[in-house]
Structure 1
Amino acid sequence: MAQPAESLGNVMNPNPEWVTKVSEPALEPDLPIVDPHHHLWQRAGNDYLFHDLLADTQTGHNIVGTVFVDCHSMYRKDGPAELRCIGETEFANGVAAMSASGLYGNLRACAGIVSHVDLRRGEKAGDVFDAQIAAGNGRFKGIRHQTGWDADPGIRNSRNDPPPEQTRDLTWREGFRELAKRDLTFDAWLYHPQLAEIAELADAFPGTHIVLDHVGGPLGYAGYAGRHDEVRAAWRKSMAELSRRQNIVVKLGGLGMAMGFFDFYRRPTPPGSAELAEAYRPWVETTIDLFGVDRCMYESNFPVDKITSGYGVLWNAFKRISAGASPSEKKALFSGTAARIYKLAL
Structure 2
Amino acid sequence: MTPAPKSPFTPSRQIAVREEWLAQVQEDAIDPSLPIVDPHHHLWDREGERYLLDDLLRDAASGHDVRATVFVQCGAMYRVSGAEEERSLGETEFVNGVAAASASGTYGPVRACAGIVGFVDLTLGDRVTPLLEAHRAAGGVRFRGVRNRTAWHPSPEVRSNLLSPPPGPLEDPRFIEGARRLAAQGLVLDVWAYQTQLPYVLAVARTVPELTVVVNHCGGPLGVGPFAGRPAEGFEEWRCEVLALAELPNTVMKLGGLAMEVGGHDFHLHDQPPRSAALAEAWRPVIHTLIDAFGASRCMFESNFPVDKGMCSYGVLWNAFKRLTERVSTWERTALFSGTATRVYRLRDAPGCEDLPEPV
TM-score, length basis structure 1: 0.95
1:158, CA displacement in angstroms?
5.9
Question: Match of 1:257?
Answer: 260
2:22 maps to a residue whose letter is V
Counterpart-to-counterpart distance in 1, 2:7 and 2:19: 20
Distance 2:125 2:15 in 1: 33
Structure 1 Cα separation of the partners of residues 50 and 125 of structure 2? 34
Report the AA paired with residue 111 of structure 2: R
1:273-313 superposed Cα distances (whole Å, 9 cap, x missing partner): 11111111111000000000000000000000001111001
What residue in structure 2 maps to residue 188 of structure 1?
191
Contact persistence 1:274–1:317 (CA under 8 A): yes
Instruction: Give the share of equivalent positions with the same residue, in percent.
Output: 49
Quote how far apart the aligned CAs of 1:12 are.
2.1
- Give, in whole Å, the separation in 2 of the partners of 1:52 and 1:157: 22
Structure 2 residue 333 is the aligned partner of structure 1 residue 333: no
Q: Is the 8 A contact 2:159 2:262 kept in 1?
A: no
2:257 aligns to what SS in structure 1?
coil
Amino acid in the other structure paired with 2:333: K
- Alpha carbons 1:149, 1:191 under 8 Å: kept: yes
Q: 1-side partners of 2:273 and 2:47: how far apart? A: 23
Secondary structure of 2:66's aligned partner:
strand
Kindly provide the amino acid, as one letter, of the partner of residue 203 in structure 1.
Answer: R
Contact 2:160–2:261 (Cα < 8 Å) also in 1: no
Structure 2 residues not aligned, in runs of 5+:
1-5, 354-360
1:19 deviation in Å?
1.2
CA distance in 1, matches of 2:40, 2:193: 15
Counterpart Cα distance in 2 of 1:23 and 1:146:
35
Specify the alignment match of 2:279 in structure 1: 276
Of 4, 7, 17, 1:14 maps to 17
Equivalent in the alignment of 2:249: 246
The corresponding residue for 2:111 is 108
SS of equivalent to 2:211? coil
1:142 is aligned with what amino acid? G
Q: Is the 8 A contact 1:70 1:115 kept in 2?
A: yes
- 3-state SS of 1:167 partner: coil
Alignment check: 8 A CA contact 1:219 1:259 kept: yes
Task: Tell whether 2:54 aligns with 1:51.
Answer: yes
Contact 1:215 1:253 in 2 (8 A): yes
CA distance in 2, matches of 1:320, 1:278: 9
5+ residue gaps in structure 1? 1-5
Q: Shift of residue 162 of structure 1? A: 3.6
Residues 158 and 169 from structure 1, CA distance in 2 versus in 1: closer, same or farther, beyond 3 angstroms? Answer: farther
Instruction: Give the C-alpha shift of residue 71 in structure 1.
Output: 0.4
Moved more, 108-117 or 74-83: 74-83
Q: Does 1:156 pair with 2:159?
A: yes
Instruction: Give the equivalent residue in structure 2 for 1:119.
Output: 122
Verify the 8 A CA contact 2:194 2:221 in the aligned structure 1.
yes
Describe how 1:65-214 pairs up with structure 2 within 5 A. Answer: 65-156=68-159, 161-214=164-217
Whole-angstrom CA distance in 2 between matches of 1:13 and 1:70: 20
Q: Which moved more, 1:91-100 or 1:172-181?
A: 172-181
Q: Do the aligned partners of 1:21 and 1:270 also contact (CA within 8 Å) in 2?
A: yes
Q: Which amino acid aligns with 1:244?
A: E
- 1:316 is the counterpart of 2:280: no
Three-state SS of the structure 1 residue aligned to 2:202 is helix
SS class of match (1:110): strand
Q: Give, as a single letter, the amino acid of the residue that structure 1 aligns with 2:322.
A: K
* Cα distance between partner residues in 2 of 1:122 and 1:148: 21
Question: What SS does the aligned partner of 1:24 have?
Answer: coil
1:57 maps to a residue whose letter is A
Counterparts of 1:279-318 in structure 2, within 5 Å, are 279-318=282-321
Task: State the partner residue of 1:3.
Answer: none
Once the two structures are superposed, residues 199-248 of structure 1 have per-residue CA deviations (whole angstroms, 9 ceiling, x without a partner) of 11111111111000000011111121111111100000111111000000
Q: Distance in 1 between matches of 2:149 and 2:89?
A: 17
Q: Distance in 1 between matches of 2:129 and 2:165?
A: 21
CA distance in 2, matches of 1:106, 1:35: 14
Residue of structure 2 aligned with 1:219, choices 218, 222, 229: 222
Task: Decide whether the 8 Å contact of 2:179 with 2:211 is kept in 1.
Answer: no
State the distance in 2 between where 1:66 and 1:247 align.
22
Q: Return the alpha-carbon distance in structure 2 between the equivalents of residues 147 and 51 of structure 1.
A: 29
Residue 109 of structure 1: SS of its match in structure 2?
A: strand
